[in-house]
Amino acid sequence: MDYTGERFIPNNDGLEIEAEHMHRYSSIAESLKGMRVLDAGCGTGYGSFLISQFAKKVVGIDISQEAVDWCNKNYASQKNLEFIQGSLEAIPFDREEFDCVVSFEVIEHVDPSIQRTFLGEARRVLKKNGVLIISTPNKLVYTDKSGYHNPFHIHEFYEDEFKQFLNQEFLVTKFYNQSLYTVSSIYEDHHTTAGVKMFQHSSLDSAGKYMIALCSNTNKVIPTIKLDSVYKFDNPGGIHFSSLYVGTDNKEYSQAQKETGVLLNQEDNRFSITFDLSAYEHISKFRFDPVEDNFCICSIEEVLTDGTVESTSPLNALNYHKQGFLFMNIDPQFEINGDFANASYITIKGYFKILSQSEISEFVDYFYKKMIEATEKA
């Protein structure tokens, strides 16, 4: 897909752009567990894919057939996720099909007439207690104060204008601001503190660069969706695509027997990822690739399954370093052996951390010195 700078493509943009986009989807994903979700204006589908790790069903629509084709190619293995071509002004679904409609950084790309039509369409396809989660730039901060005019934006909103716009179709609304700052964090040990007090320099805008709204016609769902959060982006790759290759009847691992999922880091770089095995028979082993195209430290600490695990081991790690195996290659791999003939799922838990550039440099220097020492001794 051609890169224009406007449509976010994971691993192709800078960390700041990634943080802005990924934080929005990350903040809502777990709250949408068990829901049927429409991602209106899905773009490259990374957000739809992330939500699909929790939601019952996710459908992404986009006006660009190129984007839809790209998404279907890259996320084909996710069974509860599909992408179709569709526009904001004519959402191709019947009434009350979705529990949630998500539309992040889309509405500013169309004119006011289509914006108004989309709002009615979103209400139409939502169930009576459904919720619209929508974001758009705050024109005051994004454009007026910065002096930057995005050529892809047709009509942006000021805060009061955005609220009035949403109230045309929805009775209950709740608003959030999103901004990207460099921060210094001080928090209680073990994260036991109940809240965070924010000190803000007077030169920073009190209004957010982006506005995010929860909209509904009842107050049943909105209280269950909590967006207050901080997105840490000190390491690259905010969304990690993991792969599980299924080995059956002594056959070699292949793309034909591959499951894909999102590895979500929890507190202290812990992760948990689950794969559905119901489509396979006679499973004897797995190859787990935690990430693609990144150096990392990773360890498998626990495997939960209704099969039997005999062993787990890294296939191409360099050595063990503090909390996990060090992978100085872009295709880290673990193998899990056992009896999984009748297994229906596998959950892999462990430690995972992408290496920063400074850490990579440190390891390269360390191994270079070791290599020199070994040469001198020889």
Neighbours of 374 (CB within 10 A): 9
The model carries a pTM of 0.73
**Sequential DSSP letters for 226-287:** --------SSS-SSEEEEEEEEETTPPP-GGGEEEEEE-B-GGGEEEEEEE-TT--SEEEEE
- For the record, the structure tokens of 96 come out as 């009350």
Provide the strand spans (E) within the chain: 36-40, 57-62, 81-85, 98-104, 126-137, 172-178, 210-216, 240-248, 258-263, 270-276, 283-289, 296-305, 308-314, 319-321, 324-327, 334-340, 345-354
Task: State the average pLDDT for the chain.
Answer: 87
Q: What is the pLDDT of residues 171-211, one digit of tens each?
A: 999 999 988 776 665 555 555 555 666 666 666 656 789 99
Q: How far apart are CA 228 and CA 195, in angstroms?
A: 10
pLDDT attached to residue 237: 44
**Sequential DSSP letters for 113-128:** HHHHHHHHHHHHHEEE
pLDDT band at 256 (very low <50, low <70, confident <90, very high): confident
pLDDT attached to residue 83: 97
pLDDT band at 233 (very low <50, low <70, confident <90, very high): low
65 vs 18, more confident: 65
Task: State yes or no: pLDDT of 354 exceeds 90.
Answer: no
Residue 112: HSE in the Cβ half-sphere, 13 Å Cα cutoff: 5
What's the CA angle centered on 83, arms 78 and 87, to 5 degrees? Answer: 160
3-class SS at 139?
helix
Nearest-10 crossing angle of helices 159-166, 112-125? 40
Among 51-60, 257-266, 307-316, which stretch is predicted with the lowest mean pLDDT?
A: 257-266
Q: What is the pLDDT of residues 12-21, one digit of tens each?
A: 545 666 777 7
For the segment 13-30, the average pLDDT, to the nearest whole number, is 77
Q: What is the pLDDT of residues 327-340, one digit of tens each?
A: 999 899 999 999 99
> What Rg, from alpha-carbon coordinates, does the chain have?
23
Q: Cβ(29)–Cβ(51) under 8 Å?
A: yes
- Sign of the four-CA dihedral 26, 138, 58, 21: negative
Q: Give the DSSP H or E segment for 365.
A: helix 357-377
